[in-house]
Amino acid sequence: MLILASGSSIRRKMLEDAGVEFDVVRPEVDEAALKAGMDDGETIALELAKAKAASVSSNRPGDWVIGSDSVVRVDERLFDKPRSREEAADHLRLFSGKPMQLYSAVALARGGSIEWSDVGRAELHVRDLSEDFIQSYLDAEWPEVGNCVGVFRIEGRGIQLFDRIIGGHFTIMGMPLIPVLKALRKREILAR
């Protein structure tokens, strides 16, 4: 059995659209404690993905478990999901006119041990955002973007935030899917 250790509807849809059969189990991970003392976005995303996969797989020893997480950095500051619409607007004001680094990591675990992991990187150049745009964007996208680090869904109106994007589509959506599918085929979880 394959399990996705995530509450993310986007990650779930990515796997479903790719024809992958799986169950979902929300991981029990203290993200704040894990991130304490770390300031590298790539490392944080990878450690969170590993922790999520390992936490679920330790209780499901025969199953393969996918854990995934994304981290956003702007101006050397790491950002979490916004806790309110007001905080989302503040994030968008801070992002305006700046490059955003996005790290999406994934890990595959079995029996509590990490068997494989990967990190995708992307750079998204946020255009200058007017206050009118920020408010109309949140009118249309809130509360859904409250579940998204970076306050955007690239598959929706979030695409309007950017002037230029460098990086893989699936990484930007929240999980480097092509490497995941390759890892699943290699382990014969998916047909070769």
Q: Which residues are catalytically annotated?
A: 69
Residue indicated by tokens 């460098």: 166
Q: Give phi and psi for 167, each to the nearest 5.
A: 140, 165
Tally the residues of the chain. 192
CA distance 99 to 127: 9
- From the centroid of its chain, how far is CA 56? 18
Structural contact between residues 66 and 2, judged by C-beta atoms closer than 8 angstroms: yes
Q: Give phi and psi for 132, each to the nearest 5.
A: -60, -45
Would you list the DSSP string of 35-46? Answer: HTT---HHHHHH
Structural contact between residues 64 and 1, judged by C-beta atoms closer than 8 angstroms: yes
CA distance 67 to 47: 10
